[in-house]
Structure 1
Amino acid sequence: MPTADELLSADTVRTLARLLAAAAGRTSAPTVLTCADALDGLSYSARVAAIRDAVLADLPADWPGFEAVVRNALTDRPGLGRFDGWMTFPVNEAVAVRGLEAFEPGLALLHDLTPRLTAESAVRPFLRADPARALAVVRDWTADPDPHVRRLASEGTRPRLPWAPQLPAFIADPRPARPVLDALYRDESEYVRRSVANHLNDISRDHPELAVEIAAAWLAAPTTGRVVRHGLRTLIKAGHPGALTLLGHAPDVLVTVDGPHISTPQVAVGGYLVFDYAVTNSGSTPAELVVDYVIHHVKANGTRTPKVFKLATRALAPGEKLTGTRRHSFKPITTRRYHSGEHLVQIQVNGRVRGEAGFSLDAG
């Protein structure tokens, strides 16, 4: 993943200062220029905030003047660089501050900025301030000829968009944004459809039954299977019966599971858990299977917490067997702290545990 300096480097911000100064008809944007030399040690989010505040300081305080400068910056100026990419992200955030009182014109400016780099985070203050008013604009974006704008409609309204402010109103009730998704789930662009699937996955975390209801309606269209599968991925891993059944993975499917057979009963952090397994369709009809494994990690207090990982999605004929060996890494990662103790690995088929075994982890 790129570092904060790679995304918003001092040189990038100096280029932004030149472009904004030219767009404003001035010789410099002094606050943005000074900001370029004060970024060392700042995280990406801190850099965005600092540059946003510098942009607000250098550009006119009134909305018409502010908007005019930003729109002028969208006109390419040979020799000065291009107003594009990550430098636009803090400008989008400045629009979210200065344009909130203007509202519809503020959203219109984000519409025009998002092809340069997504404004998905900047649109959210408008949705938080007045969801109905903002949605009236966003719904029109679903028919825009530019896929970046159509994706903005879906991504910007996600209840739990990563690395962005949550939308509490849509977490409590995501239905007002559903017309946006219904307009886009068959979009010609994979880029847009992927966003729709991620939005549906957000909904599934708080309203699983609604997510399944939406997915069931979409499956009437022949091109939405992939969108639905990706959108219900969290429910599939969690073994949600409605999601599994909708996708043809009956929880009570007739299978025989042999394993997991562990070949590394003692694992050190930095090493691997190695196990093999076999799943046989013991029924008399073909079976659509989602085969996962679950690691129950020991917590600091000695209890365990499960994490589901994918093994295979396969159709097995009657009597057909699926076999495999998995190496699961216990390499240190920033998102998980390992603790010594007796762990557990389970094989899960269509959301139901079919076999398990224990192993010991030494965290050092």
Structure 2
Amino acid sequence: MAAPLKHLINATTVTHAGQHLRRVWPAFDHLQFEQRASHGLETRAFKARAMQLADALQATLPDNFCAACDVIENSLGPPLALDAQGEPVALVAGPRGEGLTGWVVWSLGEYVARRGMNHVPRALACLHALTQRLTAEFAIRPFLQQHPEASIAVLHHWVNDPSAHVRRLVSEGSRPRLPWGLRLQALVADPAPTLPLLRALQDDPSAYVRRSVANHLNDIAKDHPDLVAEWIREHRREASAERSALLRHASRGLIKQGHAPALEAWGFGRGLQGEASLSLSTDHVTVGEDVGLHVTLRSTAQQLQPLVVDYAVHHVRANGSTSPKVFKGWQLTLAPQETRTLDKRHSLRPVTTRPLYPGRHRVDLRINGQTCASADFELLP
């Protein structure tokens, strides 16, 4: 079993940080830093560990913020390496003796966010350096919230930065609903300020950057689905394979929801011309097992039919009501008069994000966003 994520920030992280900060600033009180940063560290969760290190940095770095940024930047190791596709090779680049990289950068970025609100240009310059050693996607968000115009202006310059890490920060740091990050309510309400940034980055040579743009668009789709559907319609024209992949990833949530304009933008606007049936391998399933889905499609059309075939499981909730969750099935083209069979196993093993409760579960077959057939099973404890 893999070690818990929280152990990525540990006593060695603290010692390593103290050594390099003292290396570049001999007056650094590394003993006080290590005492504050390591006190009760093993009892804390992952984010709490990062915040505790940031507390220790606040207590021990220079009072002058610009001087503190100099210390931080001089303590850093080389930027994380990227492969030929622009993907990070590893979270921590090079031996520890070269300087600070990896998860301690989360704490360094948090320090900059806490102390830098009255020094926006200097703070963002420091985040420019930090993001190349892990990420500054969490640290930049308070600046976007409190100083939106100044921060967005800097992001416009960064879309042409030679570092893929920095270009990714433009998109990832400004995502409206970044997981673990401060929600940017102004951008949730109106994503217009970031759209020119995404337009400039959607053909970036780095897959690392393009994946962030896709996730950013998927965030926007949660609040402005029609906007993203129109984006897909506009930007699919003469799109490269890389851009097409980005747009598919960006619209994954809309496709699963059966959002009609998004389906139409991808050419899946028409319902099935023909018949569809769904059967299950059993009527009774025990939690921890799986159930087989058997689908038969019969075309009555005289032309090819592009189809997205998904299915929704109506899970029983603790109070006895049901809630549907859509799962990916198949994407195919059905030939004229063709009959096609499809099979899939659906797992009913519980996961932390979706507890399973006994009861009658319905399965809906959805083709191009329309429910075409249903079946049900009893989930046993």
TM-score by length of 1: 0.95
CA offset digits 1:46-85 (Å, max 9, x no partner): 1111011111111012212211111211267987453111
Matched, 1:248 2:267: yes
CA offset digits 1:252-275 (Å, max 9, x no partner): 24142121x112211111111222
Matched, 1:258 2:286: no
Native 8 Å contact 2:312 2:325 kept in 1: yes
**Which of residues 206, 216, 224 is equivalent to 2:223?**
206
Task: Report the aligned-residue RMSD.
Answer: 1.8
**Which of residues 70, 90, 96 is equivalent to 2:72?**
70
Structure 1 segment 111-260 matched on structure 2, within 5 A: 111-223=128-240, 224-259=243-278
Corresponding residue for residue 356 of structure 1: 374
Question: How many percent identity over aligned positions?
Answer: 39
Native 8 Å contact 1:23 1:73 kept in 2: yes
Gaps of 5+ in 2: 79-93
Structure 1 Cα separation of the partners of residues 3 and 216 of structure 2: 25
| 1:353, distance to aligned residue in structure 2 (A) | 0.7
Matched, 1:307 2:309: no
Corresponding residue for residue 340 of structure 1: 358
Structure 2 Cα separation of the partners of residues 127 and 236 of structure 1: 30
**Which of residues 325, 329, 333 is equivalent to 2:347?**
329
Corresponding residue for residue 25 of structure 1: 26
Structure 2 Cα separation of the partners of residues 99 and 283 of structure 1: 63
Structure 1 Cα separation of the partners of residues 195 and 122 of structure 2: 24
The residue type paired with residue 149 of structure 2 is A
| 1:332, distance to aligned residue in structure 2 (A) | 1.8
Structure 2 Cα separation of the partners of residues 203 and 150 of structure 1: 19
Structure 2 Cα separation of the partners of residues 309 and 316 of structure 1: 20
Structure 1 Cα separation of the partners of residues 295 and 350 of structure 2: 25
When residues 135 and 282 of structure 1 are mapped into structure 2, their CA distance, relative to the original with a 3 A threshold, is: same
| 1:128, distance to aligned residue in structure 2 (A) | 0.7
Structure 2 Cα separation of the partners of residues 135 and 231 of structure 1: 22
Corresponding residue for residue 13 of structure 2: 12
When residues 255 and 15 of structure 1 are mapped into structure 2, their CA distance, relative to the original with a 3 A threshold, is: farther
Structure 2 Cα separation of the partners of residues 79 and 181 of structure 1: 35
When residues 172 and 27 of structure 1 are mapped into structure 2, their CA distance, relative to the original with a 3 A threshold, is: closer
**Which of residues 117, 121, 124 is equivalent to 1:104?**
121
Native 8 Å contact 1:201 1:231 kept in 2: yes
Gaps of 5+ in 1: none
| 1:213, distance to aligned residue in structure 2 (A) | 1.9
Native 8 Å contact 2:201 2:213 kept in 1: yes
The residue type paired with residue 3 of structure 1 is P
Structure 2 Cα separation of the partners of residues 191 and 27 of structure 1: 36
When residues 29 and 322 of structure 1 are mapped into structure 2, their CA distance, relative to the original with a 3 A threshold, is: farther
Native 8 Å contact 1:18 1:80 kept in 2: no
Native 8 Å contact 2:77 2:133 kept in 1: no
Q: Using the TM superposition, name which of 289-298 and 15-24 deviates more.
A: 15-24
SS at match of 1:85: coil
SS at match of 1:151: helix
| 1:3, distance to aligned residue in structure 2 (A) | 2.1
TM-score by length of 2: 0.91
CA offset digits 1:170-216 (Å, max 9, x no partner): 00101111111011011111111111111000000001111112222
Native 8 Å contact 1:18 1:28 kept in 2: no
Structure 2 Cα separation of the partners of residues 78 and 162 of structure 1: 30
SS at match of 2:288: coil
Structure 1 Cα separation of the partners of residues 128 and 20 of structure 2: 20
**Which of residues 273, 288, 294 is equivalent to 1:276?**
294
Structure 2 Cα separation of the partners of residues 5 and 294 of structure 1: 34
| 1:338, distance to aligned residue in structure 2 (A) | 1.5
Native 8 Å contact 2:214 2:247 kept in 1: yes
The residue type paired with residue 151 of structure 2 is A
SS at match of 1:101: coil
The residue type paired with residue 253 of structure 2 is T
When residues 130 and 28 of structure 1 are mapped into structure 2, their CA distance, relative to the original with a 3 A threshold, is: closer
CA offset digits 1:121-180 (Å, max 9, x no partner): 111010010212210111111111111111100001100011111100000101111111
The residue type paired with residue 14 of structure 2 is V
| 1:27, distance to aligned residue in structure 2 (A) | 6.3
| 1:4, distance to aligned residue in structure 2 (A) | 3.3
When residues 111 and 219 of structure 1 are mapped into structure 2, their CA distance, relative to the original with a 3 A threshold, is: same
